[in-house]
């Protein structure tokens, strides 16, 4: 019992230290060699996309498409949260227990 109470803070400290060290390493790599990380590649592709849109003067259509995608994501997120808050999953479990669902 005493050993576990001593080791637990050590494990927490090691865990937090490894997470912090990883993030410092990630920031260093993103700044020094950006094309070796997903973040760097995404930033480069995004810059090229913006330049392409601005050169072709398709910025109005691009903004509309981007807004539509964000609206769809928001709608799906709201629907998911609504179903979870209403207990959608617990209601289906009750139906299954009462024999209204499929037996697997």
Q: Residue 19's pLDDT is what?
A: 94
pLDDT score of 81: 81
Q: What string of H, E and C letters represents the secondary structure of 38-76?
A: HHHHHHHHHHHHHHHHHHHCCHHHHHHHHHHHHHHHHHH
pLDDT of the residue at 22 = 93
- Look at residue 16 in the predicted model and tell me its pLDDT: 94
Domain boundaries, the chain: 1-57, 59-97
Per-residue pLDDT in tens (0 to 9) along the chain, 104 residues: 577 788 888 999 999 999 999 999 988 988 899 888 888 888 888 888 778 777 766 667 777 787 888 888 888 888 888 887 776 556 666 666 666 555 44
């Amino acid at each position: 019992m005493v050993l576990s109470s001593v080791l637990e803070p050590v494990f927490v400290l090691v865990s937090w230290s490894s997470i912090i060290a990883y993030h410092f390493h990630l920031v260093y790599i993103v700044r020094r060699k950006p094309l070796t990380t997903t973040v760097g590649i995404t930033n480069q592709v995004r810059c090229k996309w913006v330049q392409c849109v601005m050169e072709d003067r398709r910025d109005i259509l691009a903004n509309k498409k981007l807004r539509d995608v964000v609206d769809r994501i928001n709608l799906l997120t709201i629907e998911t949260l609504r179903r979870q808050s209403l207990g959608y999953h617990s209601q289906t479990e009750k139906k299954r227990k009462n024999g209204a669902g499929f037996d697997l």
